[in-house]
Amino acid sequence: MNLIIWRHADAGDGLDDPERDLERALSERGKKQATRMSRWLEARLPENFAVLASPAERALQTARTLSSKCRTDPRLLPGASLEDALVAVKIDETHLRRAGHLVVVGHQPVLGMLLAHLVSGTTSTWSIKKGAIWWLQRKEGEPFWQVKAAIGPDLV
């Protein structure tokens, strides 16, 4: 099984109003980052994969550069807890088992918490740069995920 954790691309500075912040779109720089990363992923993903994204506009725009068929889950919105993210990914485990690859697009710090938990079992927050992906792989029955790749848009 392969889980790709992808932080949304650049969308400029956050807004104080949480409602308006959810509508914040990618910047021109962010659009270029998302396009570069989706091309990198397309070259490595099999034909059949699933995409799960936060419903925030910047995350959806990032995800849609890879696939127009992305599902959204509010448990991936900014401010989500580790438990929220684990439930969102667990619900999509059926798709992960069937497709073998699940791309999850969201925000810091929850993606960093999810990454730390899955790879090391720790309760901490690992840094994920805007637009970067962490590709994790796990064999059936293994407790932790292994890092297959970690790459940012500046390296693609």
- The tally of domains found in the chain comes to 1
The C-alpha atoms of residue 75 and residue 38 are separated, in whole angstroms, by 23
Q: How confident is the model at residue 40 (pLDDT cuts 50, 70, 90)?
A: very high
pLDDT per position as a tens digit, 44-77? 999 889 999 999 999 999 999 999 999 999 999 9
CATH number at residue 20: 3.40.50.1240
**Which element (helix H / strand E) includes 31?**
helix 28-42
**C-beta contacts of 80-83 below 8 A and 24+ residues apart:** 80/54, 80/106, 80/107, 80/110, 81/110, 81/113, 82/110, 82/113, 82/114, 82/117, 82/123
Residue with tokens 């099999």, as numbered in its chain:
46
Q: Are 112 and 135 in contact (CB under 8 A)?
A: no
The domain in which residue 145 lies consists of 2-155
Classify burial at 16, counting beta carbons within 10 Å of its beta carbon; exposed 0-12, middle 13-18, buried 19 or more: exposed
The C-alpha atoms of residue 87 and residue 37 are separated, in whole angstroms, by 26
Q: Are 9 and 30 in contact (CB under 8 A)?
A: yes
pLDDT per position as a tens digit, 107-149? 999 999 999 999 999 999 999 999 999 999 988 788 889 999 9
The pTM (predicted TM-score) of the whole model is: 0.93
Q: CA separation (Å) from 59 to 53, 78, 85?
A: 6, 10, 14
